Amino acid sequence: MTEIQLFDVLVELADTLVDEFDMIDFLHVLADRCVHLLGVSAAGLLVTDQENILRVVAASSERARLLGLFQLQTDEGPSVDCFRAGRPVSVTDLRAAGHRWPRFAPAATELGFAAVHVLPMRLRSEIIGALNLCDTRPGALDEAKIRVGQAMADVATIGLLHQRAVHQRDMLAEQLQAALDSRVLIEQAKGVLAERLRVDVGEAFTLLRNGARSRNRRLSDLARAVVNGTEQLASGSAANLSA
């Protein structure tokens, strides 16, 4: 990781923070860039909805998404602890964490992860979520990577909170709720594509996301079209869509 790479990523993220920005795509870009910059295996973001309940809204891989969902379903894990305390939580060896999280640690290991590092998405006293950094190798993240990861979480936090300030105090909660509703459509579309094209759900999401970008469409709009059958996506080309 170089300072130039970090600068380029921060500029890229800042460029997406415009009026009516696509929140889901913004958070997915952030998760992907965390993986590339920090050298971890996967990343995911959990953000609160309008009722201050954590939800999985973006992940760099299907395994990272499932790991986040498992923590929310069992109310157990480093992301839950990080969100509640507003402080980083680092698990350098999940095999030795069973006493702390008896359900989460074995599940994370079964998914292929050996370490998890979670950073809070917070601004002063307001905590809106957590950034998960997952690795298939045990060990700690060095201090420089922790600082960069926290900077990425801060960028996301400031961006989301700024959007609320611009559009009214409750706009963030409404956007997050809309994003969660869109997430349902996206999961349905992933399933449709996976079955129709005989690919795994991770590849199905990549096809869907690339197709949305190539057509300058929102992920949720294309997902709805795929689910209701008004548009189809071919496995050979993410941009090959037909009504």
CATH for 220: 1.10.10
pLDDT band at 14 (very low <50, low <70, confident <90, very high): low
Residue at 172 is within a domain: no
* Together in a domain, 158 and 227: no
Same domain, 36 and 82: yes
pLDDT at residue number 205: 92
Are 134 and 90 within one domain?
yes
Q: Are residues 18 and 116 in the same domain?
A: yes
**Is residue 123 over pLDDT 70?**
yes
Structural domain boundaries, residue 190 = 180-242
pLDDT at residue 22, rounded to an integer: 74
Question: What average pLDDT does the segment 48-69 reach?
Answer: 91
CATH code of the domain containing 23: 3.30.450.40
Distance of CA 243 to the CA centre of its chain: 30
Are 109 and 220 in the same domain?
no
pLDDT of residue 181: 82
What is the model's pLDDT at position 239? 39
Please give the C-alpha separations between residue 123 and each of 26, 35, 64, 126, 127, in angstroms, as whole numbers. 19, 23, 25, 5, 7
pTM: 0.71
Domain end call among 143, 167, 191: 167
Claim to verify: residue 235 and residue 162 sit in the same structural domain: no
Average pLDDT of span 95-106 = 96
Number of domains in the chain: 2
- Nearest CA to 153 out of 40, 46, 19 is that of 46
Show which of 124, 142, 167 is a domain's final residue: 167
Residues 76 and 186 in one domain: no
Length of the chain: 243
What burial letters (b/e) apply to 191-211, b meaning 16+ CB within 10 Å?
ebbbeebebebebbbebbbeb
Say what the pLDDT of residue 175 is. Answer: 73
Residue 146 domain-assigned? yes
Q: Are residues 212 and 135 located together in one domain of the fold? A: no
pLDDT at 229 over 90: no
Q: Is the pLDDT of residue 231 over 90?
A: no
235 domain residue, yes or no: yes
3-state secondary structure 169-231: CCHHHHHHHHHHHHHHHHHHHHHHHHHHHCCCHHHHHHHHHHHHHHCCCCHHHHHHHHHHCCC
By percentage, how much of the chain surpasses pLDDT 90? 53
Check residue 163 and give its pLDDT: 65
Q: Is residue 60 part of a domain?
A: yes
Tell me what the pLDDT averaged over the chain comes to: 85
Residue 173 lies in a domain: no
For 4, which DSSP code? Answer: H
Residue 115 has pLDDT above 60, yes or no: yes
Distance, in Å, from the CA atom of 222 to the CA atom of 232, rounded to the nearest integer, reads 9
Q: Is the distance from CB of 45 to CB of 73 less than 8 angstroms?
A: no
**The pLDDT value given to residue 243:** 35
Share in percent of the chain as helix, strand, coil (round to 5): 55, 20, 25
226 domain residue, yes or no? yes
- Domain end residue (candidates: 134, 167, 200): 167
Same domain, yes or no: 135 and 220: no
Within-domain flag for 174 = no
pLDDT digit string, tens, across residues 125-135: 889 999 999 99
Are 105 and 39 within one domain?
Answer: yes
DSSP, residue by residue, 105-152 = HHHHHHTT--EEEEEEEEETTEEEEEEEEEESS-SPPPHHHHHHHHHH
Quick: pLDDT tens for 137-193: 999 999 999 999 998 899 888 877 766 666 555 656 777 787 788 888 899 999 999
